[in-house]
Chain A
Amino acid sequence: DAKTTQPPSMDCAEGRAANLPCNHSTISGNEYVYWYRQIHSQGPQYIIHGLKNNETNEMASLIITEDRKSSTLILPHATLRDTAVYYCIVRVANNAGNMLTFGGGTRLMVKP
């Protein structure tokens, strides 16, 4: 799996958009970008994933650059409950021999 690089921590004001960057410069053509988050002491939760087109769901938006070497997870209106560690992962989809490897992630602190 391609290695990802994320800032270790970020702050965001409540109600503002949180933009979390991820670099994956060695991503290959068949690797997807996945985002999970882990709220303190809980198991990680799936947020969104994409290949090359931008994606949006009820939780967030995922913007992938045209060269696919980086992406940004956007929480449009951050709330205090969005405080968590956010993990960016790249892997080949539907590959039975390929597990999700979690790195250090970005610790997002949403402040009132």
Chain B
Amino acid sequence: EADIYQTPRYLVIGTGKKITLECSQTMGHDKMYWYQQDPGMELHLIHYSYGVNSTEKGDLSSESTVSRIRTEHFPLTLESARPSHTSQYLCASRGQGNEKLFFGSGTQLSVL
């Protein structure tokens, strides 16, 4: 089974708060991804990283930012959360030459 973890599982916060969604994997994977998904809708790639100090924006524009200081850690930050940021955020990773994408359980974010 995959060893990729996301915390928190659920988060309810007020507008204007700064939040960081955590994602960690213990598989030594170099490639990591953040997807955003609204209920019943498609997954959209918002950020990805090919290794330490590498980050790129995905297909869907997002006001969030990411960092990749360590291989195993790929946190996503919202400086000032708004109700439009309410969604599920899914983190994934895969290793070099490994075609399987491993997903975390996701963070369900609700901004009031």
Contact = CB atoms under 8 A, between A and B. Distances in A.
Interface of A: 32, 34, 36, 41-46, 49, 93-94, 96, 99-105
Contact of A44 (B31, B48, B101): B101
Contacts, number: 44
A1 to B, nearest CB: 11
B43 A96 contact: no
A36 B43 CA distance: 12
B26 to A, nearest CB: 16
A32 B101 CA distance: 14
Of B33, B88, B103, chain A has the most CB atoms within 10 Å of the CB of B103
Question: Main secondary structure on chain B at its contact with chain A?
Answer: strand
Contacts of B42: 102-105
Given A43-B90, A43-B104, A32 B59 contact: no
Contacts of B90: 43-44
B6 to A, nearest CB: 8
Interface in B74-91: 88, 90-91
